[in-house]
Amino acid sequence: MTDQHPTPSAGADAGHLIVFDTTLRDGEQSPGISLDAAEKLEIAEQLARVGVDYIEAGFPVASQGDFEAVQAIARSVGNQPDAPAICGLSRTHLSDVDRCWEALRDAARGRIHVFISTSPQHMQHMLKMDEAQVLAEVRSGVARAREHTDDVEFSPQDATRTPLDFMLEVLAASVEAGATTLNIPDTVGYGIPWDFGALIQHVRRQIPGDYILSTHCHNDLGLATANTLAGVQAGARQVEVCVNGLGERAGNAALEEVVMAVRIRSDQFPGVTTTVRTEELARASRLVSRLTGYPIQYNKAVVGRNAFAHESGIHQHGVLADRSTYEIIDASAVGQVGRQIVLGKHSGRHAFADTLEKMGVSIHGDALNQAFSRFKELADRKVEITEDDLEAIVAEEVGQHLVEGYALHSLEVAGGTVGVPRATVVVVRGGDKFEATSEGNGMIDATCAAIRQATGVDATLIGLTVSSVTSGIDALGDVVVQLEGGGIKVSGRGVSTDVVEASARAYVAAVSRLVRIQARHEERQVEVGP
């Protein structure tokens, strides 16, 4: 690949690998994900428990909602003991940089991440700028960010398709203007591990200055984690990652994969360590999945349902004798086992709240009251409520609480092999009730059609995913609905022992989110980041 033990980035602790989490920025750019400020705050709090060094909380100029989310995270999570630094993304425009700092300024440690495209494809078709203009933008944007903070990151977007000489010129200009971290984004997933590693090493050798080198790899060819690790071996000392590998198109390098690879294969990364508390990884994965509506593939490395499952008789025999025969990761080291909390219908509010606290879920006031009421309702139908069930309940109720809009009041359905499936729904909004009845090619289809009539919200159903939270005949059904209306994609989640009811709840939650976004005109067309 490259030299076995290359000199790490200047300005970095040679052994410390900075983990820069961009789930709330690049991860949220995944199609159909639209997180509210409080949902982002919940994820940021878990990321702090994970122990990441940086949280890229959003793109403040993109919308008022994004600005408020970054500001809320900066003010709360950003001021906790041993808190991660909070970062915001910004184009090189001076007004963007100022807006970014306005959102970050209340954090104990704030970073401005400035970017501009540098590849011929992006400069010609997106920016309509030449190399001289891009260089001028880099100098002014980075210098402006440095006026606000001494922690400034710069990214040449689409670096791996940028002519090498020009990329080096841009990087040198950013260091001269005050950048302290140079991020090399493989924006379109074009990189190959040995080539990307060589690129990182070449930058380190050619660009003088006191800075940290960073990687930001996309997964279009399935190589994001491999490219990231190649960068670390070549001397990068910051990795930009997302929980569950979320992100634009095929996603980004997965936080859990990169961290565990560095830990398990320490022979390949001698002396390189992170501050990540790996036992929190599975919890972070589940939380992000439930709030974004993106399910975790069963065979996902480290955090997938099957990551520590064995079906082959030979494998089972070996694992029963000694787990190390077929497992290189201790499941408990990533929080995948040992969750034994069980509540039932006789459990009280105190036990419920205490259990949530032990799970690392902190909700209070109305949100707690609503979650407890939903818990009691479901506990009447289900003998035992497990920790997985609780996480699903809280994710659904917190999401409903955050969205000003409709709520499901009642649902009545009829279906089977005889007759046309029919559904009658009653939804409430602001004290008013709206009722509608509709037919469909199934009870779920009829229910969604009735909700469309009752709310009057015209949206296209583009996705509906049903999964089981736990096993057993009384397992909770977890439904994620994705809608599109007016060019805006949103998702909603619902849980119930009845999948038709869960689907109705998810559809209503998605409609409510769509209504809120459309009413507030939060969506603005801005260039996405690295």
In DSSP notation, 426-460 reads: EEEETTEEEEEEEE-SSHHHHHHHHHHHHH----E
C-alpha 347/C-alpha 332 separation (Å) is: 27
- State whether 274 and 378 are in the same domain: no
Cα separation values, 362 from 46, 102, 357, Å: 10, 27, 6
493 and 416 belong to one structural domain: yes
Is residue 317 assigned to a domain? no
By the 8 A CB rule, do 58 and 25 touch? yes
Q: What is the pLDDT along the chain (530 residues), one digit of tens a residue?
A: 344 445 566 655 678 999 999 999 998 888 777 788 888 999 999 999 999 999 999 999 998 889 999 999 999 999 999 999 999 999 999 999 999 999 999 999 999 999 999 999 999 999 999 999 999 999 999 999 999 999 999 999 999 999 999 999 999 999 999 999 999 999 999 999 999 999 999 999 999 999 999 999 999 999 999 999 999 999 999 999 999 999 999 999 999 999 999 999 999 999 999 999 999 999 899 889 878 878 888 888 888 777 766 555 555 556 466 667 666 777 778 877 644 456 777 777 777 887 777 666 777 777 788 888 878 877 776 656 766 677 777 766 665 545 457 889 999 999 888 889 999 999 998 889 999 999 999 999 999 999 999 999 989 998 888 877 766 666 778 888 888 888 777 878 888 888 999 999 999 988 988 887 776 555 455 667 88
Q: Which residues of 84-97 are buried (b: 16+ CB within 10 A; e: fewer)?
A: bbbbbbbbbbbebb
Number of domains in the chain: 3
Same domain, yes or no: 499 and 514: yes
Domain contains 86: yes
Give the CATH number of the domain where residue 411 resides.
3.30.160.270
AA identity, residue 355 = T
Placement of tokens 């700028």 in the chain: 129
209 in the same domain as 157: yes
Task: Tell me, yes or no, whether 127 and 222 share the same domain.
Answer: yes
- Residue 70 makes CB contacts below 8 A (sequence gap 6+) with 57, 58, 60, 86, 88, 100, 103, 104
Which pLDDT score, from 0 to 100, does residue 351 have? 77
Question: Residue 369: phi, psi to the nearest 5?
Answer: -60, -45
User: What is the pLDDT at residue 200?
Assistant: 97
Q: Are residues 269 and 407 in the same domain?
A: no
Torsion of CA 451, 482, 372, 455, to 10 degrees: -20
Domain, as residue range, for 376: 342-400
Say if residue 182 is exposed, middle or buried (CB neighbours under 10 Å; 0-12, 13-18, 19+). buried
Instruction: Examine residue 530 and state whether it is found in any structural domain, yes or no.
Output: no
- Within a domain: 97: yes
Residue 334: per-residue pLDDT = 80
Same-domain pairing of 230 and 122 = yes
Angle (CA) 307-309-315 rounded to 5° is 115
Count Cβ atoms below 10 Å from residue 380 Cβ, excluding itself.
Answer: 9
Give the contacts of 218 (CB within 8 A, at least 6 positions apart). Answer: 185, 186, 187, 188, 189, 224, 247, 248, 249, 250, 251, 252
CA–CA gap between residue 137 and residue 119 (Å, rounded): 15
**Structural domain includes residue 11:** no
Let me know whether 170 and 25 are in one domain: yes
pLDDT value at position 2? 41
Domain end point (choices 374, 400, 426): 400
Structure-block tokens of residue 27: 């991860």
- CA distances for 71 relative to 54, 65, 78, 106, 229, angstroms: 15, 10, 9, 8, 32
Closest CA to 426 of 439, 445, 407, 413: 407
Amino acid 14: pLDDT = 77
DSSP 342-378: EE-TT--HHHHHHHHHHHT----HHHHHHHHHHHHHH
- Same domain for 30 and 172, yes or no, is yes
Q: Is residue 9 part of a domain?
A: no
CB-CB contact of 86 with 53 (8 Å): no
Per 3-state DSSP, the chain is made up of helix, strand and coil in percentages (nearest 5) of 45, 20, 35
- Three-state secondary-structure class, residue 513: helix
Q: Is residue 212 part of a domain?
A: yes
**189 lies in the same domain as 285:** yes
Q: Which amino acid is at 199?
A: L
Task: Count the alpha carbons within 13 Å of 255 in the hemisphere toward its beta carbon.
Answer: 35
| Beta carbons within 10 angstroms of residue 21's beta carbon | 30
Specify if 111 maps to a domain: yes
Please give the biggest Cα pair distance in the chain. Answer: 76
User: Do 52 and 81 share a domain, yes or no?
Assistant: yes
Domain boundary among 376, 400, 424: 400
Q: What is the length of the chain? A: 530
Closest CA to 138 of 164, 102, 175: 175
350 plus 204 within the same structural domain: no
Sign of CA dihedral 324, 329, 330, 331: negative
How many Å apart are CA 290 and CA 308, to the nearest integer?
Answer: 21
Determine the Cα–Cα distance for residues 201 and 180; give it in Å rounded to an integer.
Answer: 17
Q: Which of 296, 303, 306 is nearest to 255 (CA)?
A: 303
CATH of the domain at 274: 3.20.20.70
The domain boundary, picked from 252, 274, 292, lies at 292
pLDDT of residue 7: 56
Interatomic CA distance for residues 137 and 125, integer angstroms = 17
pLDDT score recorded for residue 100: 98
CB 474 within 8 A of CB 452: no
